[in-house]
Chains A and B, each alone.
Chain A
C-alpha cells in the first residue's frame, strides 16, 4: 500500500517545524536556561560548578548558527541533552520511562471510545428521530464540552475517594515486581480504569457525532437500498453495508483529534498521578526542565505524525477505492 508522496511531504515539513520551534522557543526566555540553573544552585554556585554547567548544557556563548548545528548533530545521534531535574539522567532515558504508559493509556482509550462511540452513532443514525437518538445525540454534545480536568476530578472523587473502587494513583501497585505475570497485568489494568474513563467521554462524544452524521448521509446511498432489496437482515445492512462506509470520516476525525487527546492525557495523568509523558511534561514545566520539554515536543510530534500515517494506511484498508487509486 502506498501513501502519496505529498502526504509524506506534509509530515516531513511538520517534523522540520517541530525541530525549528524546539530550537527557537527556549531562546525566547529572558536570560539563558543556564543562568536559571546557576541561580537555582544558590550558594553552591562555585566558579567551577558554573563552568561545568556551561560545558554540559551547551555553549550558549556560541553564535546562533553554531548552536543550531550543534543541536541538529545532537538530534541525529538521538542525543536530546541531559535533564535538569533528574540531573544525571538523559532526556531520552526520562522520556523512555514514561512514553510506554502514555501510549498504553491513549491507545486503550481510543479503542474503547471507537467501539462505544461508533456503535452509538450508528444506532442513533439508524433510528434517527427515535428515543435512543433523542437522548444519546445531545448527550454527546455535552460530553465534548466538559474539560478532561473536570471529568478526571469527578471520577477521582467518586470512584477513587468516596467509593474506593479503584486506586487513586500510579500505574501499578508499587509493591509488585513488574513482570509477565497475571497479578502484575491485573494491577496495571486496575490502575488504568479511571484514567481511561477520563479520556474516553470526549472521544466517545466526538466519534458518536461524526459517525451519526456520516451514517445518515450513507443511509441514502443506493447500495444500502440494494442490500435491503437483496433481503439481508437489518443488522447485516447496518454494519457490513452502511457502518463500514460511514467509518471514513470518523478515521479522519481521529487523526485531527490526536493533539487534543495528548492534551487530555496530560491533565488526566496529573490528576491520577499516572507516570506517563503528561506527568513528566508537567513536572518538567514546574521545574523549568527545558531539555525534557523540548524532547517531549519532538516525541509527541513524531507520535502524532506516526498516527496520522497509520490513519492514512487504515483509510486504504476500509475504503478499497482509495487502495486501488494508490496502487
Chain B
C-alpha cells in the first residue's frame, strides 16, 4: 500500500509573465517584509544609477522664474528655492547616501567583527580589559563626539564614512563578542583545537562562518541606523555637502520656508528618507524572523 505522502502535492500552475515569474522565483520563500524592503531599496538604487535618464527635468538646473512653486501639473512635487524640480532631485538624491552609508556600515561592521572575534575568543586579560572598554563606550554620547570630529576635520563623504565606521565598531564588537563566547563552548571548536588549528584559523575559519547570521543582521540593522544618522548629519550641515541633491540637505534648505507654508520640499524629501530607513528595517526584521524560524 502506498502512503499518501508519496504523492507529490499538485503544483499550482505558475501565473504571470515570464519576467515576473523569474522575479518571483528569486524572492520565493523569503518573508514578505524582506521582499517589500528589497524592492523599495532596489527602486532607490535604480534611481541613483539611472534616474537621470528618466527624470522630467535636469535635477541641477536652476530656474529663477519658478522658485518655490507649489506642486502642479508641470512640477509634480513643486520646485525648491532655486527653482529646481523637487521630483527630479529626489529620484537622483539617493546617490551620495547610498554610497556613504553602506561603505561606513561595511567598514564599521568589519572592524567590529574582528574586535569582537578576538575579544570573545581569548579569555583573561585581553577580554577583561576589552569588554570593560566596550561597556564604557556604550555609555558615551557619540553624537557629540561625531559632531566634534566632523567640525574638526571638515565634513566630506570620506570623513563621514570614517567617523560613522569608528562609532559603529564598538557597538558591533559587543554583539559579535557575545555570539563568539556562545560558540566557543561548542564541540566543533574543541575538535578544531585538538586538531591543532591555530587561534586565528579557529576564529576566522571555524567560528566566523557559524556566526554569519548574527553579523548579517547586525549589518542590515546598522545600515538602517547609518541612513538615519547620515540624513541627520546632512541636515545639520555636517554630512553630505552641496551641490549634492541629497535629501537631508534638501530638508535643511527647505526647513526655513516651512513656517511660510511652503511644505513640499521638506515633506517629499522627508518621505524619501523615511522610506529608505523603513526599507532597511523591514529587511532586517524579516531576516531576523527568518533565521529564528530556521533554528
Contact = CB atoms under 8 A, between A and B. Distances in A.
A303 B139 CA distance: 10
Nearest to B144: A297
Given A149-B251, A161-B261, A267-B232, A301 B140 contact: yes
Contacts of B153: 28-30
Contacts of B25: none
A304 B138 CA distance: 10
A293 B147 contact: yes
Contacts of A11: 136, 139
B236 interface: yes
Interface string B153-166: 11000000000000
Interface of A: 9-11, 13-14, 17-18, 21, 25-26, 28-30, 141-142, 144-150, 153-154, 156-157, 160-162, 168, 255-256, 258-260, 262-263, 266-267, 270-271, 281-282, 285-286, 288, 290, 293-294, 296-297, 300-301, 303-305, 308
20 contacts: A13-B132, A14-B136, A14-B137, A26-B148, A148-B232, A149-B231, A150-B251, A255-B139, A263-B141, A263-B143, A263-B232, A271-B255, A281-B144, A285-B148, A285-B236, A293-B144, A293-B148, A297-B145, A304-B140, A308-B139
A259 B229 CA distance: 13
A144 B282 CA distance: 12
B270 interface: yes
Interface in B120-155: 132-133, 135-145, 147-154
Task: Label chain A's interface by main secondary structure.
Answer: helix
Interface of B: 132-133, 135-145, 147-154, 224, 228, 231-232, 235-238, 248, 251, 255, 258-259, 261, 263, 266-267, 270, 273-274, 277-278, 281, 285
Contacts of A281: 144, 147
User: Which 9 pairs from chain A and chain B are nearest by CB?
Assistant: A263-B143, A300-B141, A14-B136, A150-B270, A297-B144, A29-B152, A145-B281, A259-B141, A285-B151
Nearest to B153: A28
A300 B139 contact: no
A141 B281 contact: yes
Contact of A145 (B140, B238, B274): B274
A145 B65 CA distance: 38
Contacts of B141: 258-259, 262-263, 297, 300-301, 303-304
A90 B278 CA distance: 43
B263 A266 contact: no
Contact of A13 (B133, B228, B267): B133
A275 B232 CA distance: 19
B139 A305 contact: yes
A262 B140 CA distance: 11
Given A9-B132, A14-B139, A18-B140, 13 more contacts: A28-B149, A29-B153, A141-B281, A149-B232, A149-B251, A161-B261, A255-B139, A260-B143, A286-B237, A288-B151, A290-B152, A297-B145, A304-B140
A297 B148 contact: yes
Contacts of B145: 21, 25, 297
